[in-house]
Copies of this chain bind each other. A is one copy, B any other.
Amino acid sequence: MNKINRVAIVGGTHGNEFTGAFLVKKFQQFPEVIQKPSFETLTILGNPKAFEAGKRYIEKDLNRCFLTESLQNTNLSSYEDIRAKQIAGVLGAENKPNVDVVIDLHSTTANMGLSIILGNQDPFLLKLCAYLSDINPLVKVCYTIPEKGSNFLRSLNKLGFVIEVGAVAQGVLNAELFQKTEQLIYTILDYLEQYNRGNIPKINNLLALYKFTGTVDYPRNENGDIQGMIHPDIQFRDYEPLNPGDPLFLTLDGKAIAYEGTSTVYPIFINEAAYYEKGIAMLFTEKQLINPSS
């Protein structure tokens, strides 16, 4: 791979995810903290109008507007469609990138710690993730939906990924999580600088990769109304093993509903506020140990 010349940090792609939005605000106010000798770092506040309003989005979810066809469709004219085209104009497309790395900052009401979400298994990203999770146990690495034709902002770049931090409420700036995310970004920038110098650290440990296998909805009645909530035993326990028979939900009248699968899974995004409207109570993943150097 070639030298890294430009890195983009995007925050506030969802306007009510304040950690990333305020980090970008800080980086724009104090640009020296993200400058490195061998590459340029640029910052983008993803959805300024939604951030101003304290909302996830104004008309539609910006982070679902980056399908190539959508970006080329001049009939799509919502605020977020227009904003997606502007952002893609700066960052370029996967086959014609203007930057070498894209870091998209998100936060979640689920207890995801410092999660890195990959849309592909590029060896460069796997090595970076192995390094980050090796030095900080709060860092977890997920591989979600294959990137081909993805509508996520991160899919604009082969080396695009999401940092998803939590648990934190929407519309709230939590200082501790702000600082942990900030440190993680500095570590990533340092790693990229070392890469440019041909000095990337060797990792001996295997990387735990949590691979998306499917989504689970809340229990609902015939009208679609939610009839149960995340069971207290698994609330805030993202990335922990869920075995067949373990409690999954608790109905409003106090009955436990068990996980009825046949194999152990590792739920993530448990009780994410923004996923209620999408019919998602949590995502299931399977855990794989991989050797990023092989």
Contact = CB atoms under 8 A, between A and B. Distances in A.
Interface of A: 22, 25-26, 29-30, 54, 109, 167-176, 178-179, 225-226, 229-232, 235, 250, 252-254, 271, 273-274, 276-277
Contact of A229 (B22, B167, B271, B274): B22
A121 B171 CA distance: 33
Contact of A175 (B30, B174, B175, B232): B232
A22 to B, nearest CB: 7
A-side interface mostly:
loop
A176 B233 CA distance: 9
Contacts of A172: 109, 169, 271, 273
- For the complex of A and B, 5 pairs with smallest distance between CB atoms: A169-B169, A171-B273, A109-B169, A26-B252, A173-B229
A171 B175 CA distance: 21
10 contacts: A25-B225, A26-B253, A109-B172, A173-B230, A173-B271, A174-B235, A175-B230, A175-B232, A175-B235, A176-B235
Contacts of A175: 229-232, 235, 250
B170 A170 contact: yes
Contacts of A232: 175-176, 179
Contacts of A231: 175
